[in-house]
Amino acid sequence: MTSLATTAIICSVRAHGEHGAIVRALTAEAGLLPGYVQGGRSTRMRPVLMAGNIVRGIFRARTEDQLASLSAELLRSRGPLLGEPLPAAAIDWACAFTAATLPEGHPYPALYSALSAVLDAVEAAPAARGWAVALVRYELLVLAELGFGLDLSECAATGATDDLAFVSPRTGRAVSAAGAGVHAQRLLPLPAFLTVGGEASWADIFSGFALTGHFIETSLVDPRRAEILAARERLIERLKRAVA
C-alpha cells in the first residue's frame, strides 16, 4: 500500500460511475496526481471538489500502477469566485491547462507555486489586469517546464540583448526591432513586461496571450482537444469585452 498525505490544488473533476469522481490535483512534491473520490458527486463533496480549491488530500493505492483513492478535506474554497464571469473563466483555464498538459506523477514545484500565486491573484486583485499578467507568465512557465521554453535573452539575428520586440513563431527566439527588419510582420510581438518587467497595458497583455497561445497550440495541446483551448478563448473574449 502506498500513501501520500499532502496539500493539493484541485485542477479537474470528471464524473465516474454513478456517484464517484476522478480528480486531478496538483501537489508540490509529486506533481499532478489522479485520484478516485467515492461519493465525489454528492452534495457534500461537490463544494470541495471544485477547480481552484485547496484541499488536504490523502492518496492511497495498493500498487503504483493502480488509480489511487482520494479523500479530500477543504482547506480553502474559491467557490464564491465562480459566480463572477472573469474570475471564473481565469480559474477554469488555469486549472484545465494544468490538468491537460502536465504528465502525472512528475514533480513541478515551481508550477505548484506559480499556480497558487495566480489563483491568489485572481482572488485578491481588485481588477483583472492585476492577475492577467500573472496568468501570461504562468503559461510561459508551463511551456518552459515542459521543454518548450522561449528564448527571450537575446536577439536571434544580431545577438543584442536590448530592444527585443518580437519572437520567431518557428523557433521561439526573441528578435530585436533592428534585427526584424522587413520580416517584422511575420513575427509575434513581444511585450516589454515579459523581458524588462514594469507595468503592462491591456494591449501588451493581449499580445502576451497571443504569444503564449501560439506555442501552446503548436507545442502542448493536441488540436483534437478543442474543449481545452475553448476555455482559453472564453477567458480572452471576456477580458476583451470587459476592457472595451
pLDDT band (50, 70, 90) for residue 47: very high
Once rounded to an integer, what is the mean pLDDT over residues 19-36? 97
Cα-based angle 235, 227, 207 (whole degrees, multiple of 5): 35
Residue with cell 527571450: 152
pLDDT band (50, 70, 90) for residue 1: low
SS3 232: helix
Buried b (16+ CB within 10 A) or exposed e, 3-18: ebeebbbbbbbeebee
Parts of the chain belonging to CATH 1.20.1440: 82-152+190-243
Please state whether the predicted TM-score (pTM) of the whole model is above 0.85: yes
| Contacts of residue 197, Cβ cutoff 8 Å, sequence gap at least 6 | none
Q: Are 136 and 208 in contact (CB under 8 A)?
A: yes
Asked if residue 204 has pLDDT above 80, the reply is yes
Homologous superfamily in CATH for domain 2-77: Nucleic acid-binding proteins (2.40.50.140)
Parts of the chain belonging to CATH 2.40.50.140: 2-77
Domain 82-152+190-243 has CATH 1.20.1440: yes
